[in-house]
């Protein structure tokens, strides 16, 4: 008999375990980890709320976490401005000003996890606005969660083209760069130099690589540039002998590469070893950070061109912080180590836009917040931003070059900005003396 | 593989009379299914979303267990079939705008075909060679997808039709997949093939000597597991809504299958059920600590396996000597201690 | 034709490095039948140690390497003695999960401590070409990688064959029961084997750190290379690992030569699978377990 009872007990326990687990989760117990976890009491109506909750599903670990470097610094700066200097944001149903709090969730740079953590932010933490960032892996799954649960979503840091693949969006908004504009300014850089106009593609098969291949091919058609495409390379290639000799044989003066940092570092080193250093090397994705450029062997970083997504020479300022781009970058460099990362611009612009939208909405009603974000029309660190019919606000991607600097080993110079003429491109573009073929 | 010496492989506990429980078990289980199926009526959105994950991971775990726990095929490559399922869904609904239902059939067919093709080389390998061979196969498939124009290379797909699926409906789908996997494994083990599997598990060469057709039995398991994993992949990506080669064919899927099965209890039906609940709840809990959540998961995995090296079901079974879903063949009452698995010959 | 010669030479040289990455795995593979998923991440751990010590503590790569070797041997002994030995006889799956756990812990702790950015160890040989002719160009770095790898593998091979320690390790590998009856402490032999694996892994970590650079999570991408060269060589066979490295390196580069750079990595994997289908126990598997 004891045998039977044990079995029954286990059967019931097993079902109870599942049911309990599910309803415990349903109760939102354990919310922030430290909260006392009164299970079964989700924060009910928004009128009871004593804060505005922004859920940031961010790549805090894994390959994409490189973008997150300045995020805590910017958060402290901006939340101080919003909560302490301005005293919060007036919300009608709360009858007063509420502070903003940002709750983070780690996507681990993985689109599967991104969806899981964003769902948790929306359904358990019940965030008022969901934020997702950096590359399609960071923006597309988060946007999908917003569409599914009908929560306003703000995403940034991906190509507009690939973000829109997940649309048409209703609840998701994006602050993205546009690949057509990016490539246009890259070509503008090449135009300024004396080359044989042969362009070699070193593109991977990722979103940036495939989009870049399509856009460059379209934009260069009918010009006197000649394209040489040796075929896409696979991420994680360790030896580029074949690729380099093809580029060398094709006599390309220009190469445009879309490579992650380790791949480009190996590729560029092997280019030097095989005596092939083209006059112009435009590298996207891999060489956004000064430390990476400094890491390249034998002064290889000198003169590398790339398309920068934010620069301290942007003649704009943040309305929330009251600081110009130059001041923000200087503040970063004085309080942190190293050259300012461009992702500061995106982080600051996010707070600019969300603060402005919530201030106008004066409510946490989801539809009203969504509409307020879409109605945005403010001057930010990217200049004036508005959202188009695809719910996307376009930010600049302009041509820049790494050249030896005074304060740091390399500094970034703006050399082409035809797509955003408001940004001055005063520095001349240079063919570095190390070029050899 | 060699002979296994662990306690859970032996059949323990007194046989006991087969009285009320056996008669009432179907009723209790049916009631449990009804309680779980009605969950959307009483759980929050969050509870439903967690339920979806539990049942989908349960399915993955059951299918990996069918390979590793019962057939001795420790695969590190089952993520290939998750990816096939996810990409089938993306291609059918996004590229060709056909119905979601169709993708289940195509995913099953493609998984079956792929499993059949790769079974020729990888079934020549055994032990760790099989383990690594399967991983290389799925890694090769990942690289192939990244370079395949038909699936837009590495760019990935948003599965936009899945935005509008109601979560309770998705939950019921996941429930069906998860419980279906559990039932499938149960019935396989109660069949003649199950007997053969048990014999293989306990002593491969002895089983072969007694007439078990090793190759055919293992291949059948591999095909069933692969097809069902592919189908699970479709539902997984109905939930995730964004498919990209690196994530779809990522080794992370297999890490979670291994975690679920080994923590729950290898070679037991209850193991993957318990393992999936623990895995999903643990993950949801560690998400509250962004930045160190993976460290917590890794520490938990090592700690649990040190405390219960045979998984939770192994520990429970070793201590109390019972299991919920017995897949044993029982001799007629009163025939004394059973001889097992030698009785299970001639399959 | 020049390109073909260059391709073959580069393939052999990079293959030597692959063998250095894989050989530690081959040891633990052959000796205790352990599928050590943590091998790649522990190798990257060694890369971080070398980088950190050479920049912050000693100032030189050689002393940094010696420090790293000592620490990694200790880590190897601790993980084997405290964790892996305790689950090894419970079947391969438990050990698999433990090494998965270790890999996850290692790479995430590294990220927590050192951040997510790309790191590399500076190499004095990077910008020098030791052979520079019309037919073939070989960089100092590749040459050093190759020589160090081959020397290390030969030394290891001799050690396993000729020394007392090597004999006890081999005894534990071929028959656990018999070895224990003859007075060999197999668990201790496993610890020695893991220490050896960690030492070779540290060398691999140094070479990889100089040649390719690394992130905290690079371990998994090197792990698949390591597994590949070890299984085609035959587990437990050190010379087999070297041959496996050459095969993988050549297959990748010749794949790029004949079919274009896009399929370079894919051809490598396919070559591994073809060889495994023809020789399911690897090319040179002389150690048979149980």
Cα–Cα distance measured from residue C162 to residue C153, given in angstroms and rounded to the nearest whole number: 14
Does any domain span residue C289?
A: no
Is the separation of the CB atoms in A109 and A64 below 8 Å?
yes
C60: domain CATH number is: 1.10.3470
C214 touches chain A (CB under 8 A): yes
Burial class (CB in 10 A: 0-12, 13-18, 19+), C133: exposed
> Other CB atoms closer than 10 Å to residue A324's CB: what's the count?
16
Secondary structure class of A289 (helix, strand, coil): coil
- Our CA angle for B20, B24, B30, nearest 5°, is 165
A28: left (phi over 0), alpha (psi -120 to 50) or beta: left
According to the model, what pLDDT value does residue A11 have? 54
B166 touches chain A (CB under 8 A): no
Verify whether the Cβ–Cβ distance C224 to B143 is below 8 Å. Answer: no
Is the separation of the CB atoms in A205 and A263 below 8 Å?
no
According to the model, what pLDDT value does residue A40 have? 38
Residue A149 neighbours by CB under 8 Å, 6+ apart: A119, A122, A123, B45
Q: What count of residues does chain A have?
A: 437
Tokens found for residue C42: 């522990």
Tokens found for residue B295: 């460290």
**Who among C14, C118, C261 is closest to A233 (CB)?**
C261
**Structure letter (DSSP) for residue A85:** I
Select from B152, B173, B42 the least CA-distant residue to B100: B173
**Structure letter (DSSP) for residue A26:** H
Phi, psi of B196 (to 5 degrees): -60, -40
Question: How far away is chain C from the Cα of A200, in angstroms, using its nearest Cα?
Answer: 13
User: Average of pLDDT values for C106-133?
Assistant: 85
Cα–Cα distance measured from residue B176 to residue A312, given in angstroms and rounded to the nearest whole number: 55
Name the strand (E) or helix (H) holding A58.
Answer: strand A52-58
Place of tokens 């100092």: C140
Among A297-301, B9-13, C282-286, name the one with the lowest average pLDDT: B9-13
Verify whether the Cβ–Cβ distance B259 to C235 is below 8 Å. Answer: no
Cα–Cα distance measured from residue B167 to residue B174, given in angstroms and rounded to the nearest whole number: 10
User: Average of pLDDT values for C270-289?
Assistant: 79
Q: Which residue of A has its CA nearest to B160?
A: A166
Is the separation of the CB atoms in B191 and B242 below 8 Å?
no
Residue of higher predicted confidence among A326 and B327:
A326
The tally of CA atoms less than 13 A away on the side-chain side of residue C37 is 26
* Residues of chain C contacting A205 with CB distance shorter than 8 Å: 262
Place of tokens 């190897």: C76
Query: What is the value of pTM for the model shown?
Result: 0.89
Phi, psi of A179 (to 5 degrees): -70, -35
Torsion of CA A325, A326, A330, A333, to 10 degrees: 60
Cα–Cα distance measured from residue C87 to residue C98, given in angstroms and rounded to the nearest whole number: 8
The count of domains in chain C is 1
B157: left (phi over 0), alpha (psi -120 to 50) or beta: beta
Average pLDDT for chain C: 88
Cα–Cα distance measured from residue C27 to residue C169, given in angstroms and rounded to the nearest whole number: 10
Among B205-209, B342-346, C202-206, name the one with the lowest average pLDDT: B342-346
* Residues of chain C contacting A69 with CB distance shorter than 8 Å: 115-117
Secondary structure class of A239 (helix, strand, coil): coil
According to the model, what pLDDT value does residue B3 have? 40
Secondary structure class of C218 (helix, strand, coil): coil
Cα–Cα distance measured from residue A394 to residue A352, given in angstroms and rounded to the nearest whole number: 15
**Structure letter (DSSP) for residue A419:** T
B41 touches chain A (CB under 8 A): no
Cα–Cα distance measured from residue B59 to residue B48, given in angstroms and rounded to the nearest whole number: 17
State yes or no: pLDDT of C286 exceeds 70. no
Tokens found for residue C159: 């050690």
Select from A234, C251, C277, C261 the least CA-distant residue to B144: A234
* Residues of chain A contacting C248 with CB distance shorter than 8 Å: none
Tokens found for residue B121: 């080389």
List chains touching B (3+ CB pairs under 8 A). Answer: A, C
Q: Which residue of C has its CA nearest to A295?
A: C120
Kindly list the domain boundaries of chain B, sorted by start residue: 36-251
Does any domain span residue C175?
A: yes
Q: Which domains does chain A have, with CATH numbers?
A: 47-178+314-395 (3.40.50.2300), 180-308+397-416 (3.40.50.2300)
Q: Which of residues 232-271 of B touch C (CB under 8 A)?
A: 251, 255, 258-259, 261-263, 266
> Other CB atoms closer than 10 Å to residue B293's CB: what's the count?
24
Q: End-to-end CA distance of chain A, in Å?
A: 87
State yes or no: pLDDT of B20 exceeds 70. no
According to the model, what pLDDT value does residue C33 have? 82
Question: How far away is chain B from the Cα of A107, in angstroms, using its nearest Cα?
Answer: 9
Catalogue the E-assigned strands of B55-164.
Answer: 157-158
Cα–Cα distance measured from residue A183 to residue A17, given in angstroms and rounded to the nearest whole number: 55
Verify whether the Cβ–Cβ distance A238 to C14 is below 8 Å. Answer: yes
- Domain of residue C262: give its range: 2-278
According to the model, what pLDDT value does residue B335 have? 43
B158 beta partners: B242
> Other CB atoms closer than 10 Å to residue C277's CB: what's the count?
16
Verify whether the Cβ–Cβ distance B13 to A166 is below 8 Å. Answer: no
Going by pLDDT thresholds of 50, 70 and 90, the confidence category of residue B1 is: very low
- Our CA angle for A124, A130, A131, nearest 5°, is 135
Q: Which of B75, B125, B129 to mutate to test the interface with C (most CBs of C within 10 A)?
A: B129
High-pLDDT (> 70) share of chain B, %: 86
**Structure letter (DSSP) for residue B344:** G
Cα–Cα distance measured from residue C129 to residue C137, given in angstroms and rounded to the nearest whole number: 7
Place of tokens 């989009």: A211
Residue B112 neighbours by CB under 8 Å, 6+ apart: B223, B226, B227, B230
According to the model, what pLDDT value does residue B327 have? 58
Q: Which of B50, B87, B253, B275 to mutate to test the interface with A (most CBs of A within 10 A)?
A: B50
**Who among A12, A60, A140 is closest to B158 (CB)?**
A140
Secondary structure class of C123 (helix, strand, coil): coil
Q: How far is CA C240 from CA B278, B293, C208, C283, in A?
A: 42, 39, 21, 7
**Who among C6, C118, C139 is closest to A262 (CB)?**
C118
**Who among B32, B163, B252 is closest to A147 (CB)?**
B163
Cα–Cα distance measured from residue B218 to residue B231, given in angstroms and rounded to the nearest whole number: 20
B192 touches chain A (CB under 8 A): no
**Who among B14, B51, B157 is closest to A22 (CB)?**
B51
Q: Which of C120, C222, C248 to mutate to test the interface with A (most CBs of A within 10 A)?
A: C120
Q: Which residue of B has its CA nearest to A24?
A: B47
* Residues of chain C contacting B266 with CB distance shorter than 8 Å: 91, 93-94
Cα–Cα distance measured from residue A352 to residue A385, given in angstroms and rounded to the nearest whole number: 10
List chains touching A (3+ CB pairs under 8 A). Answer: B, C
Ordered per-residue pLDDT tens for chain A, 437 residues: 444 555 555 555 555 555 555 555 444 333 333 333 333 344 444 456 789 999 999 999 888 888 998 999 999 999 999 999 999 999 998 889 999 999 999 999 999 999 999 999 999 999 999 999 999 999 999 999 999 999 999 999 999 999 999 879 999 999 999 999 999 999 999 998 888 999 999 998 888 888 999 999 999 998 999 999 988 888 888 889 889 988 998 999 999 999 888 889 989 988 988 889 899 999 988 888 888 888 887 678 888 999 999 999 999 999 999 999 999 999 999 999 889 999 999 999 999 999 999 999 999 999 999 999 999 999 999 999 999 999 999 999 999 999 988 888 899 999 998 888 889 887 888 887 766 65
pLDDT digits (tens, 9 = 90+) for B181-209: 999 999 999 898 888 888 887 777 888 88
Average pLDDT for chain B: 85
Does any domain span residue C236?
A: yes
According to the model, what pLDDT value does residue B344 have? 39
Burial class (CB in 10 A: 0-12, 13-18, 19+), A410: buried
* Residues of chain C contacting B80 with CB distance shorter than 8 Å: none
pLDDT digits (tens, 9 = 90+) for B209-249: 887 888 888 999 999 999 999 999 999 999 999 999 999 99
* Residues of chain C contacting B122 with CB distance shorter than 8 Å: 276
State yes or no: pLDDT of B330 exceeds 60. no
């Amino acid at each position: 008999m004891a045998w039977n009872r044990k079995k029954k007990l286990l059967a019931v326990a097993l079902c109870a375990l599942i049911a309990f687990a599910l309803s415990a989760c349903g109760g939102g117990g354990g919310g922030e980890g430290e909260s006392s976890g009164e299970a079964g009491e989700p924060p009910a109506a928004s009128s009871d709320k004593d804060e505005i909750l922004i859920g940031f599903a961010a790549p805090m670990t894994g390959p994409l976490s490189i973008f997150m470097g300045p995020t805590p610094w910017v958060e402290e700066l901006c939340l101080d401005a919003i909560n302490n200097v301005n005293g919060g944001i007036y919300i009608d149903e709360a009858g007063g000003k509420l502070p903003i709090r940002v709750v983070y969730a780690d996507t681990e740079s993985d689109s599967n996890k991104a969806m899981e953590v964003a769902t948790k932010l929306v359904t358990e933490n019940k965030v008022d606005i969901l934020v997702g960032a950096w590359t399609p892996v960071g923006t597309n799954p988060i946007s999908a969660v917003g569409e599914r649960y009908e929560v306003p979503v703000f995403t940034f840091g991906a190509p507009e083209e690939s973000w829109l693949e997940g649309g048409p969006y209703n609840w998701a908004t994006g602050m993205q760069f546009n690949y057509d504009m990016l490539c246009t300014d890259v070509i503008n850089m090449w135009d300024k130099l004396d080359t044989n106009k042969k362009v070699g593609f070193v593109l991977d098969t990722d979103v940036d690589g495939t989009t870049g291949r399509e856009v460059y091919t379209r934009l260069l058609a009918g010009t006197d540039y000649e394209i040489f495409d040796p075929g896409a390379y696979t991420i994680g290639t360790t030896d580029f002998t074949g690729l380099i000799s093809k580029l060398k044989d094709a006599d390309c003066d220009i190469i445009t590469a879309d490579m992650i940092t380790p791949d480009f570092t190996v590729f560029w080193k092997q280019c030097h070893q095989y005596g092939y250093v083209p006059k112009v090397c435009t590298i996207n994705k891999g060489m956004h950070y000064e430390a990476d450029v400094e890491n390249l062997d034998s002064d290889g970083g000198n003169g590398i061109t790339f398309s920068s997504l934010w620069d301290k020479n942007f003649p704009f300022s943040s309305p929330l912080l009251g600081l110009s781009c130059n001041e923000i970058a200087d503040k970063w460099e004085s309080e942190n180590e190293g050259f300012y990362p461009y992702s500061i611009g995106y982080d600051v612009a996010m707070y600019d836009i969300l603060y402005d939208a919530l201030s106008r909405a004066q409510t946490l009603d989801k539809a009203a917040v969504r509409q307020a974000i879409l109605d945005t029309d403010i001057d930010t660190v990217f200049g004036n931003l508005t959202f188009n019919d695809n719910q996307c606000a376009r930010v600049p991607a302009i041509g820049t070059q790494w050249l030896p600097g005074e304060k740091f080993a390399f500094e970034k110079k703006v050399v082409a900005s035809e797509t955003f003429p408001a940004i001055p491109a005063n520095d001349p573009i240079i063919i570095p003396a190390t070029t050899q073929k | 593989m060699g002979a296994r010496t662990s306690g859970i492989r032996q059949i323990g506990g007194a046989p006991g009379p087969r009285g009320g429980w056996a008669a009432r078990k179907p009723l209790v289980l049916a009631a449990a299914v009804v309680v779980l199926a009605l969950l959307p009526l009483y759980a929050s959105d969050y509870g439903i979303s967690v339920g979806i994950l539990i049942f989908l991971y349960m399915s993955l775990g059951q299918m990996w267990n069918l390979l590793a726990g019962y057939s001795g095929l420790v695969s590190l490559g089952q993520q290939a079939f998750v990816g096939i399922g996810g990409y089938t869904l993306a291609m059918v609904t996004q590229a060709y705008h056909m119905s979601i239902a169709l993708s289940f059939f195509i995913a099953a067919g493609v998984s079956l075909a792929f499993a059949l093709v790769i079974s020729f080389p990888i079934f020549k390998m055994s032990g760790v060679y099989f383990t690594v061979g399967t991983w290389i196969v799925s890694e090769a498939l990942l690289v192939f997808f990244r370079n395949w124009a038909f699936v837009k290379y590495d760019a990935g797909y948003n599965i936009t039709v899945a935005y509008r699926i109601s979560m309770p409906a998705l939950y019921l789908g996941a429930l069906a997949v998860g419980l279906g996997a559990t039932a499938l494994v149960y019935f396989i083990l109660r069949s003649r093939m199950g007997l053969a599997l048990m014999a293989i598990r306990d002593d491969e060469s002895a089983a072969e000597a007694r007439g078990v057709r090793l190759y055919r039995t293992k291949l059948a398991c591999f095909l069933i597991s692969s097809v069902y994993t592919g189908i699970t992949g479709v539902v997984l990506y109905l939930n995730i809504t964004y498919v990209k080669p690196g994530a779809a064919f990522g080794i992370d899927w297999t890490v979670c299958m291994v975690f679920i099965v080994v923590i729950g209890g290898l070679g037991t039906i209850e193991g993957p059920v318990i393992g999936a609940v623990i895995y999903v709840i643990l993950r949801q809990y560690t998400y509250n600590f962004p930045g160190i959540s993976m460290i917590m998961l890794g520490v938990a995995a090592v700690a649990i396996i040190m405390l219960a090296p045979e998984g939770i079901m192994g520990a429970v079974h070793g201590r109390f000597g019972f299991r919920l879903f017995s897949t044993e063949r029982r001799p007629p009452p009163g025939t004394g201690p059973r001889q097992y698995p030698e009785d299970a010959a001639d399959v | 034709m020049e390109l073909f010669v260059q391709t073959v030479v580069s393939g052999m040289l990079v293959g030597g490095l692959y063998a250095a990455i894989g050989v530690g795995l081959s040891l633990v593979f052959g000796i205790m039948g352990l599928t050590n998923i943590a091998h790649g991440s522990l190798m990257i751990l060694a890369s971080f140690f070398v980088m950190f010590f050479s920049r912050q503590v000693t100032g030189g790569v050689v002393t940094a390497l010696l420090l790293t070797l000592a620490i990694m041997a200790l880590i190897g002994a601790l993980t084997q003695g405290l964790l892996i030995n305790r689950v090894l006889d419970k079947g391969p799956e438990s050990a698999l999960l433990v090494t998965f756990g270790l890999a996850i812990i290692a790479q995430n702790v590294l990220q927590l401590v050192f951040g997510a950015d790309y790191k590399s160890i500076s190499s004095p040989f990077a910008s020098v070409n030791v052979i520079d002719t019309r037919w073939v160009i070989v960089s100092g770095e590749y040459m050093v990688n190759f020589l160090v790898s081959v020397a290390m593998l030969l030394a290891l091979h001799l050690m396993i064959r000729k020394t007392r320690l090597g004999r006890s390790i081999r005894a534990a590998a071929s028959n656990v029961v018999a070895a224990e009856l003859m007075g060999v402490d197999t668990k201790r032999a496993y610890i020695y084997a893991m220490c050896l694996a960690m030492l070779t892994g540290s060398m691999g970590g140094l070479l990889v750190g100089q040649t390719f650079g690394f992130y905290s999570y690079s371990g998994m991408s090197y792990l698949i290379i390591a597994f590949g060269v070890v299984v085609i060589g035959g587990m437990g066979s050190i010379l087999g690992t070297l041959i496996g490295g050459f095969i993988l390196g050549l297959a990748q580069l010749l794949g790029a030569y004949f079919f274009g750079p896009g399929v370079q990595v894919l051809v490598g994997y396919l070559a591994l699978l073809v060889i495994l289908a023809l020789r399911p126990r690897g090319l040179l598997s002389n150690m048979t377990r149980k």
